[in-house]
């Protein structure tokens, strides 16, 4: 499929033609910090399991992977050595995928621990890293992101040439992003993951989506994610609006919430790709995803 799709928009009494890219980015979040095998039987844990799962999802259409690290006992870890084991395994199986690492403060807040994942060098060095622009409450507890730590993480990423994967949970976090952009803390390219459905932040709705998108800086690439049962709705909304998607077991453990059918990462990717194809959209290759975001080319093979 070539070129862009075009649709008609009506704004303030005027019809205009709007270009809608036929390519979209599938950003896979395969593990996170919370899912455990007892409740999420298909969550990958070891470096080899994660790499094999990423390869299955890559074959299904994923072009980007957002990685957390787990010890073999399933506990989350900040250790740089474990991150290196994981990214090395991933790029061995999928050399061209866009590599993103977490700097999550959900289980620890110290800047020194949260920057460990940024320090990997060599072919498997991360291209992007998560940067959550505010504190919030999840069902299981708080995620604390102080202004000092946010700026420290942004500075550490800039020093290493790593592009922030800006995580947004409500419109106030977009406002803070614009504040940091105005002060030169954040610089282009801008990639925003917009996460809906967490109990303490914005739910998935047309009104919330419109508010967040209207507040984004110009030339931003954006994706919608949904927590739990909100995942399918958020992904579908993003596809219909010309955006990209984040998907995976980190955010949603079930294919079907009515009977709690366990999901696999590959099945979640395959479903969202089917939905996108019905809309005339196709998953971007990693090379195309880098062009869309504004990342430099990467050769790891």
pLDDT of amino acid 16:
46
- pLDDT-derived band at 21 (thresholds 50, 70, 90) equals low
- pLDDT-derived band at 104 (thresholds 50, 70, 90) equals confident
What sections of 61-166 are H helices per DSSP? 80-93, 111-114, 147-160
Q: What is the mean pLDDT of the chain?
A: 91
pLDDT of amino acid 199:
86
Tell me the two tokens of residue 245: 């998607």
State the average pLDDT over residues 233-256.
Answer: 97
Provide the whole-model pTM: 0.91
CB 46 within 8 A of CB 22: no
From residue 63, give the alpha-carbon distance in Å to each of 27, 143, 244, 285: 6, 27, 11, 6
- The Cα 39–Cα 27 span in angstroms is 23
Tell me the two tokens of residue 68: 């957390």
- pLDDT-derived band at 2 (thresholds 50, 70, 90) equals very low
- pLDDT-derived band at 111 (thresholds 50, 70, 90) equals very high
What are the structural domain ranges in the chain?
23-293
pLDDT of amino acid 131:
97
Q: State pLDDT tens for residues 140-186.
A: 777 889 999 999 999 999 999 999 999 999 999 999 999 999 999 99
pLDDT of amino acid 301:
65
Tell me the two tokens of residue 281: 């959209």
- The Cα 229–Cα 252 span in angstroms is 7
Integer-rounded Cα radius of gyration of the chain: 18
pLDDT of amino acid 141:
73
Asked if residue 244 has pLDDT above 80, the reply is yes
Asked if residue 105 has pLDDT above 50, the reply is yes
23-293: CATH number: 3.20.20.70
pLDDT of amino acid 149:
95
């Amino acid at each position: 499929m070539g070129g862009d799709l075009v649709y008609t928009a009506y704004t303030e009494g005027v019809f205009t033609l709007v270009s809608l890219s036929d390519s979209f980015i599938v950003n896979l979040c395969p593990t996170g910090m919370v899912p455990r095998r007892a409740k999420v039987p298909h969550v990958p844990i070891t470096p080899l399991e994660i790499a094999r799962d990423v390869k299955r999802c890559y074959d299904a259409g994923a072009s980007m992977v957002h990685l957390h690290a787990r010890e073999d006992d399933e506990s989350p870890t900040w250790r740089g050595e474990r991150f290196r084991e994981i990214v090395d395994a991933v790029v061995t199986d999928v050399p061209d995928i866009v590599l993103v690492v977490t700097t999550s403060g959900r289980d620890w807040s110290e800047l020194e621990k949260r920057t460990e994942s940024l320090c990997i060098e060599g072919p498997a060095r991360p291209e992007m890293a998560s940067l959550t622009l505010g504190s919030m409450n999840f069902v299981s507890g708080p995620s604390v992101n102080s202004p000092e730590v946010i700026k420290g993480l942004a500075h550490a990423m800039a020093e290493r040439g790593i592009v922030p994967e800006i995580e947004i949970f409500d419109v106030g976090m977009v406002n803070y992003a614009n504040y940091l952009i105005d002060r030169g803390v954040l610089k282009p390219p801008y990639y925003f993951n917009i996460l809906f459905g967490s109990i303490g932040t914005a739910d998935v709705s047309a009104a919330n989506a419109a508010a967040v998108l209207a507040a984004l800086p110009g030339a931003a690439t954006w994706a919608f994610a949904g927590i739990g049962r909100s995942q399918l709705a958020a992904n579908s909304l993003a596809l219909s609006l010309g955006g990209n998607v984040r998907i995976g077991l980190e955010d949603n453990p079930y294919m079907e919430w009515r009977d709690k059918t366990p999901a696999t990462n590959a099945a979640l990717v395959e479903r969202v790709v089917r939905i996108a194809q019905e809309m005339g959209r196709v998953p971007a290759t990693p090379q195309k995803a880098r062009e869309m975001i504004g990342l430099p080319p990467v050769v790891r093979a």
